Structure 1
Amino acid sequence: MRVVLSAYGSRGSVEPIAGLAVRLRELGAQVRVCAPPDEEFAERLAVVGVEVVPTGNPVRPLVTSVTPGSAVGLAQRVAELMDAQFDTLAATAEGCDVLVATGPLPATTGARSVAEKLGIRYVHASHQPVLLPSPYRRPPARRGQSLPTDVTDNQALWDQDAQIANAMFGEMLNTRRASVGLPPVDNVRDYAFTDQPWLATDPALDPWQPTDLDVVQTGPWVIPDERPLPADLVAFLDAGTAPVYVGFGSTPVSAPQDVARAAIEAIRAQGRRAVLSRGWADLALIDDRDDCFVVGEVNHQALFRRAAAVVHHGGAGTTTTATLTGAPQVVVPQGADQPYFAGRVADLGIGAAHDGPTPSTESLSVALKAALTPETRARAAAVAGTFRTDGATVAAKLLLDAVGQDRPPVSA
């Protein structure tokens, strides 16, 4: 079986695709991954031996240069992202049996169009539930668009969200579809998701309530990270008590130096040491005291297992890793799916949800005090013991079975 996996987004989108690629390859499939050309993504995929086809523009400059919520330059970015699907992804998927896509709507609508044109199976995968239509929650606002605050009927809001998606992306998509001989699509969002999207999340961390969508929850696509921690980091960890990790991953924050200062001072107030991750927020140490250490890209699975607590933004990838490793968490959500995961961490009793995106020393101290209790650590360990680690294998076998059913029987 030949599979092409398409991911456009931050580390939280690319890492799970790498996990699925590894499991597919172990089961005998030939796998290619279309991913953004960011150097850190290429390096991570190379470590697990996955063939990568750079697709679209680098993500990091987009994330770190665009004002949150702003629609300035959106039309050009959407056009470029769709073009990458109809050009690079289409060429890569030629001769494949199935295409699995994850990422923003302009990417996944283009990806399904490619699969339709090539006549191959298409699967939409999501690593968080917030964008999938559900009567149990409001849809998130789309960039540059707002939803009425006085409407409480979630289904009505999701219907309006579909109309907004059509207005934002419909003409661009259908122009490109027409150029390759495909008919127009009248519901862009639902076309991308299909009637049976896959949800690659853990059922305990993210319990999906049944809806009209036939969602297939496979479990998260994680693989053991075997990379050793840097020697100087290991030396720091060995030199004292377990530190508190602070990092915001691929999410930029406003006033990063203020955030770093608030975090380090709050950690010191609890009598703890700190490991600060630069991330795309470019966090930095506030002084040269030896109780703090700064890291770049490292093995989070190994580091979180040695942390007293993990302070992070609540992205799907970081929340999944922290929950998997049993690390107590403090989630400081910045937007998108992050408030949802902050709520789940609090509801599960495996950490604390910070109120709002801008922490102070005082507010983080309160949250850390709750996360660092023996009761929270025991609960985090208990939830980690139930965490599904076979999601990538489940998804890989589902793909193999589905493609096998699509093929005609071999004549004698």
Structure 2
Amino acid sequence: MRVLLSTIGSRGEVQPVVALASELRALGQDVRVCVPPDFREWLDDLGFDVVPIGPELRRFGSASRVRPSAEELRKSAEDTVSTQFETVTVAAEGCDVVVAAGALQFAARSVAERAGAGYVYASFCPITLPSDRHAPPPMPWRSPGTTDNRALWQEDAHRWNQLFGGRVNACRAANGLAPVDDLQSHVFGGRPWLAADAALAPWPDQDDPDVIRTGAWIWPDERPLPPDLVEFLDTGEPPLYFGFGSMHAPAEVAEVMLASARAHGRRAIIARGWADLAAADGHPDCFGIGEINQQQLFKHVAAVVHHGGAGTTTTAAGAGAPQVVVPQMYDQHYFASRVRDLGIGAATEPGVPTAEALTAALEVALRPEVAARARAFAAKVRPDGASVAARHLLATAPLTSA
């Protein structure tokens, strides 16, 4: 069987896709991946058939970027849909099943439908799938004062149709397909998958047969830590890790991070990330790193301070590290709440943190009882979600797009 795995997100979306691709390949399946060009070299090195989609994500967005106008948003939405139809159509050639993972997957189901292939949509966070038991992720268009979950999901569905539906239906018509009335339901399909850890990010209705819960897709990272980082770790008490991943934080955030670590008498490891944070230079109590094996590193730090992406939150939870989540957007607010509610860390207010706010949150995360809960919780995080998903895919293929 040939499977196309498609995502257009950052590493937090791509790495789980790599986990599923690896499991499928180990089971003898032919796998192709469609991902942003930022990750092509990495996946080429892993031996996967890669089709890049769109421009590099890293060069988009910054803390100082002017908010786009309505016309710019409309054009960006239409261009995104057109690019997906063009690229995913090529990537899906000869494939039996298309798996669309993560947000903004507007073309994959239509491409699968036209090709007669099976289709699966997979989410990495429960609140990105509709349910009367939770609200959708925060978005700029929210109606003030609306608290009814069903009304909020209806508002989201309307915005999807408004922003993306016209171009989706134009592309469907060009491919001989009938229009869709509800784009959101069309993308999610009848039985979406939730690729999130059941303990960390559970589906709110445990008896719901319409959401397939596979567990988080965790790629087993076997890369060793760099020798100079190992030396830094070995020369004192466990440091604090700070990283915002693909978020474009202002450069001064690195100094804020270092100040909060020093307030607790701790050393700091600062991940440069896509913001190119560089405060580590010249500070003996601070170590700057690039892309690295977080699964290994997080076992050796006193706490993990991060933006709250699904991948980083799950990795820190699995490593037993206390967390401080500084949410910026979308599902990160959910993971901030989960870390706080589970008692395995703390969270700050959304946006760019102050040194005072980070220092206060770290005071909570570094408490012995929080560290103990984080270590105990690690045993609940299952590492086999990608294997479960791969075997389920094979057992139910060929899948319909219903």
Deviation at 1:77, TM superposition (A): 2.8
By how many angstroms is 1:111 displaced? 0.7
Separation of aligned partners in 2, 1:228 and 1:315: 23
Deviation for aligned residue 1:355:
2.5
Aligned residue-pair number: 398
Give the aligned partner of residue 136 of structure 2: 139
Q: SS at the partner of 2:163?
A: helix
How far did residue 188 of structure 1 move?
0.6
In 2, the alpha carbon distance for the partners of 1:353 and 1:198 equals: 28
Query: Is 1:228 the equivalent of 2:224?
Result: yes
Check if 1:85 corresponds to 2:80.
no
Which amino acid in the other structure matches residue 175 of structure 1? Answer: A
Change (3 A) 1:335 1:361: same
Picking from 189, 194, 197, the partner of 2:192 is 197
Counterpart secondary structure, 2:224: coil
The answer to whether the Cα contact below 8 Å between 2:272 and 2:278 also exists between their aligned partners in 1 is yes
Of 342, 346, 349, the residue aligned with 2:336 is 342
Q: Which of 150, 164, 170 is residue 155 of structure 1 equivalent to?
A: 150
Q: Report how far residue 71 of structure 1 moved.
A: 5.2
In the TM superposition, residue 129 of structure 1 has moved relative to its aligned partner by 2.0
- What is the one-letter code of the residue matched to 2:26? E
Aligned pairs (5 A) from 1:131-280: 131-142=128-139, 145-210=140-205, 214-253=210-249, 255-257=250-252, 259-280=253-274
Per-residue Cα deviation, 1:69-89 (whole angstroms, up to 9, x for no partner): 645633333333222332221
**Offset from partner CA, 1:134-183 (integer Å, 9 cap, x none):** 222222354xx522222222111211211111111111101111101001
Name the amino acid aligned to 2:98.
L
Q: Is the contact between residue 299 and residue 320 of structure 2 (CA under 8 Å) also seen in structure 1?
A: yes
In structure 2, the partner of 1:303 is 297
Q: Tell me, which stretches of 5 or more residues in structure 1 are unaligned? A: 407-412
1-structure distance, mates of 2:13, 2:61: 14
Contact 1:134 1:155 in 2 (8 A): yes
Give unpaired runs (5+ residues) of structure 2.
Answer: none
SS in 2 for 1:327: coil
| Rounded Cα–Cα distance in structure 2 between residues aligned with 1:30 and 1:348 | 40
Distance 1:68 1:129 in 2: 31
**Aligned counterparts of 2:142 and 2:302: Cα–Cα separation in 1:** 40
Q: Distance in 1 between matches of 2:54 and 2:399?
A: 33
1:60-105 Cα offsets, whole Å, 9 max, x none, are 1223488486456333333332223322211221211100002333
TM-score, structure 2 as length reference: 0.94
CA distance in 1, matches of 2:96, 2:324: 42
Aligned position for 1:320: 314
Query: How far apart, in 2, do the equivalents of 1:260 and 1:369 lie?
Result: 19
Where do residues 22-171 of structure 1 align in structure 2 (5 Å cutoff)?
A: 22-38=22-38, 41-64=39-62, 67=65, 70=68, 73-105=72-104, 108-142=105-139, 145-171=140-166
Equivalent position amino acid for 2:32 in 1: R
Structure 1 residue identity aligned to 2:53: T
Query: Shift of the alpha carbon at 1:365?
Result: 1.3
Q: CA offset at residue 28 of structure 1?
A: 0.8
**Which residue pairs with 1:409 in the alignment?**
none
Q: What CA distance in whole angstroms lies between the structure 2 residues aligned with 1:141 and 1:339?
A: 8
What secondary structure does 1:256 align onto?
Answer: coil
Distance 1:386 1:302 in 2: 18
Partners of 1:22 and 1:48 within 8 A in 2: no
- Aligned alpha-carbon RMSD (Å): 2.0
Q: Distance in 2 between matches of 1:43 and 1:307?
A: 29
Match of 2:17 in 1: 17
CA distance in 2, matches of 1:90, 1:314: 33
